[in-house]
Amino acid sequence: MDSESASAYWRGSLRVVAILLSIWAFISLGCGVLFRDFLDANFPSIGNAPFGFWIAQQGSIIGFVCLLLAYRSMMGSLDKKHGYDEAVEQ
Amino acid sequence: MSQESWNFLFIGLTFALYIVIAFRSRAASTKEYYVAGSGVSPFANGMATAADWMSAATFISMAGGIAASGYDASRFLMGWTGGFVLLTTLIVPYLRKFNKFTVVDFLGDRFYSNTARLVGVVCAIFICMTYIMGQMRGVGIVFSRLFSIPIWGGVWIGAAIVFFYAGLGGMKGITYTQVAQYCVMVFAYVLPVIFISMLLTGNVVPQLGLIGSYTKDGMESAVPLLDKLNQLNVDLGFASYTDGSKSRIDMFCITAALMFGTAGLPHVIVRFFTVKSVKAVRTSACWTLLFIAMIYLTAPALGAFARTNFIQEVNEVTYAEAPSWFKNWEDKNLIAWVDKNGDGRIQYRAGAALSPSKPQFATERGAHGERLLVNEATESTNEVYYDKDILVMANPEMAGLPAWVIALVMAGCVAAALSTAAGLLLVLSTSISHDLIKKVLKPDLSEKQEVMSARLASFGTLLVAAYFGINPPSSFVAKTVAFAFGLAASSFFPTLLMGIFSKRMNRAGAVSGMIVGITFTLGYIIYFQFIRPALGHDTGFLFGISPEGIGFIGMLLNFVVAFSVSAVTPAPPQEIQDMVEEVRLPNGVGKATH
């Protein structure tokens, strides 16, 4: 492996991680804890649950699953782009 | 068929299943013993990790905790799922690429130091030991309730079974039994909640029931379930269910400590060493979180339903007319009622009913047939004590479900405790045989001897764990399980992170960071929990952060100390820096080796 593609790959993966973890922090510690009163007051309820409460008990968990699915596919295409894709996934 | 025979049938069948699986997939080499030969499919590993993750405490107590504290309990829901995002994006793909058997291997090699290895072994043993004691206790309690045997008998039965398949089968045996255990757990958890959801809200999907309407009294009088619950809570003097009562900063720090701690728990990280490649790690992490989410998304619904049910069926009802489960659990010492105002009706209110708060029963019965207590009644108008753990176990009875559903829930509780205990036992025995004996004390150990010493180590640690399960150092165990997360957050997580993401981080920085982080966190916990517990709620807390959340501050301290120390000491050798670069690329993972 030449070192140029290695460092390009590393920069790319840092970018993926940075994007996903900012979303992670925003939905869990942000919406679930810090801004929940604001969200309860100003956002429409989910069913009969206040918005912030629903995020803290349900929405954040659904969000985490989506983040991992996104991580898997973003890293997969990064692997392909820089030639680190291993054809056989067993 | 009686309840007893259903219980025997379900527990017996599941045990037989686990043992058959373990026997068929027992380990022959170190590779199979430590990492199941690295040939587990991402899907199976996802299920196994989910089973490993869901401990007896999660399975039995979490829904009860949510019922009791409403919004405040969100810290567990977010903390114990959100941590997997950190674990997957920051830690496991790189450690899998590094391609060794244990987490401590990485610390020792990356920081080119046996000191780092030893500090790692001590942290791993401390974290896993506190955790496994709680599991052994959990197994003992479930068995003692099921078969009316003493707790010590239950602990020994559990220990024998865990030793049989974890000690002998190694990682390979554990993995496939955990797959079976996850299936038992998910049915046992979700099925009763579906029935209860239909009963209370008319909705088949519990998650929709939670945000739906309470329709038990008929469609015309339907009210939003959460509004009803808030009303009930406020009427009885509790904080509103959806508001909670913890301070914002404390909520923030506890949630953060649980998430960062999750990403640093050795028994979860090693599970991902059992799959073939970095790509398979990513896929497996998706499955893991999906399987965990199935239970974690159900828990808030269960908590809300159980709380509504409990208040509706018990409060202001005469003891004579109280539902039969109330009396059943009273007979098992987990519910108590003292008729303070002498009206023969059960009043459930905020505040502790008894002093001391756990009931001590007298032998006689009172005027209404209730069991009399030795405890003094408190000033509070509350007349009811209940152990929050009963909500999951009594739930099927509360909803009037058939006996076999109750037996299924019991089998689920046992599966939850056994699967976690097995995973922890493996990390403990690996730490001793591989990280300590093979890597530090006796490097010329042959592979056969190493597997043998791992089995002996698991036997020894199990004896210690069983001893503490039978004689818990008072309420110490339950508390330390929660604190294990703070300790992992302040030691393993930051050090692993810096080892991967900073090439400049050196031995001196990592070791001093780990020591400062864990010492600060442990010191704070010991000071407020054991030396001056009387200080209690937020008096004297640093920034108002309770010991539960202090691991977050410990982690920040670890980072600051590590970076400062490493800035004034020499950079790591070139071959270490090359190794870090290599770990960052996903290709070419062989099977895990020494």
Q: Which long-range contacts (CB under 8 A, 24 or more apart) does A34-42 make?
A: A34/B248, A34/B252, A40/B242
Output the six-digit token pair for B497. 């992170």
For B2-11, give one letter per residue: b (16+ CB within 10 A) or e. ebeebbeebb
Quote the Cα angle for B55-B59-B60, to 5°: 115
ipTM of the complex: 0.92
> In this structure, is residue B546 part of a structural domain?
no
Domain stop point among B418, B449, B471: B471
Task: For residue B67, give the nearest of B379, B344, B346, B314 by alpha carbon.
Answer: B314
> What pLDDT sits at residue A90?
40
In DSSP terms, B318 is beta-bridged to: B345
> In this structure, is residue B498 part of a structural domain?
no
Q: Which residues contact B476 (CB under 8 A, 6 or more apart)?
A: none
Nearest to B78 among A17, A32, A75 (CB): A32
Provide the CB-side half-sphere exposure for A1 (13 A, CA).
21
Whether B201 and B66 map to the same domain: the answer is yes
Nearest to A84 among B85, B296, B585 (CB): B585
Whether B70 and B95 map to the same domain: the answer is yes
> What pLDDT sits at residue A39?
81
Whether B327 and B182 map to the same domain: the answer is no
In DSSP terms, A49 is beta-bridged to: A46
**Which of A4, A5, A31, A33 to mutate to probe the B interface, most B CBs <10 Å?**
A33
Domain that holds residue B118: 3-303+401-471
Whether B205 and B345 map to the same domain: the answer is no
Whether B274 and B365 map to the same domain: the answer is no
Whether B233 and B372 map to the same domain: the answer is no
Output the six-digit token pair for B137. 């206790």
Provide the CB-side half-sphere exposure for B403 (13 A, CA).
10
B77-119 confidence digits (pLDDT tens): 999 999 999 999 999 999 988 888 888 889 988 988 888 888 8
Task: For residue B240, give the nearest of A83, A15, A71, A40 by alpha carbon.
Answer: A40
- What is the mean pLDDT of the segment spanning A37-63? 86
* DSSP annotation of B370: P
Whether B233 contacts B240, CB under 8 Å: yes
> In this structure, is residue B44 part of a structural domain?
yes
- Domain spans in chain A, listed from the N-terminal domain onward: 11-81
Rounded Cα distance, B12 and B33, in Å = 27
Whether B10 and B106 map to the same domain: the answer is yes
Nearest to B282 among A6, A65, A72 (CB): A72
> In this structure, is residue B118 part of a structural domain?
yes
> What pLDDT sits at residue A87?
56
Whether B421 and B317 map to the same domain: the answer is no
Rounded Cα distance, B523 and B517, in Å = 10
> In this structure, is residue B500 part of a structural domain?
no
Domain stop point among B426, B453, B471: B471
> In this structure, is residue B239 part of a structural domain?
yes
Nearest to B248 among A34, A48, A50 (CB): A34
> What pLDDT sits at residue B94?
92
Whether B277 contacts B589, CB under 8 Å: yes
Q: Residue B85: its chain A contacts at CB < 8 A? A: 20-21, 24, 64, 67-68, 71
* Digitized pLDDT (tens) for each residue of chain B, 594 residues in all: 777 788 888 888 988 888 888 888 877 777 777 777 778 899 999 999 999 898 877 888 788 888 888 888 888 899 999 999 999 999 999 998 888 888 888 998 898 888 888 888 888 888 888 788 878 877 887 777 777 777 788 888 888 888 887 777 788 888 888 999 999 999 989 988 998 888 888 888 888 888 888 877 777 777 888 888 888 888 888 888 888 777 888 888 889 999 999 998 888 998 898 888 889 999 999 999 999 999 999 999 998 888 888 888 888 888 888 888 888 888 877 788 888 888 888 888 888 888 777 788 888 888 888 888 888 888 888 888 887 777 777 778 877 788 888 888 888 888 888 888 888 888 888 888 888 888 878 888 787 888 888 888 888 988 988 888 887 655 555 566 667 888 899 989 999 999 999 989 999 999 999 999 988 988 888 787 767 665 555 566 667 777 778 889 999 999 999 999 999 998 889 988 888 888 888 877 754 444
Rounded Cα distance, B24 and B36, in Å = 13
Distances (CA, A) of A36 to B13, B63, B67, B246, B300: 46, 22, 20, 13, 17
**Which of B247, B585, B589, B591 to mutate to probe the A interface, most A CBs <10 Å?**
B585
Whether B135 and B222 map to the same domain: the answer is yes
Whether B362 and B282 map to the same domain: the answer is no
Task: For residue B427, give the nearest of B32, B115, B132 by alpha carbon.
Answer: B132
Domain stop point among B398, B416, B439: B398
Whether B118 and B32 map to the same domain: the answer is yes
Whether B410 contacts B46, CB under 8 Å: no
> What pLDDT sits at residue B592?
45
> In this structure, is residue B163 part of a structural domain?
yes
- Is the bond preceding residue B323 a cis peptide, omega within 30 degrees? no
Give the closest-approach CA distance of A56 to chain B in angstroms: 6
Whether B161 and B217 map to the same domain: the answer is yes
Overall number of domains in chain B:
2
> CATH number of the domain that B24 lies in?
1.10.4160
Q: B158 in the Ramachandran plot: left (φ > 0), alpha (ψ -120 to 50) or beta?
A: alpha
> In this structure, is residue B548 part of a structural domain?
no
B473-515 confidence digits (pLDDT tens): 555 555 666 678 888 999 899 999 999 999 899 999 999 999 9
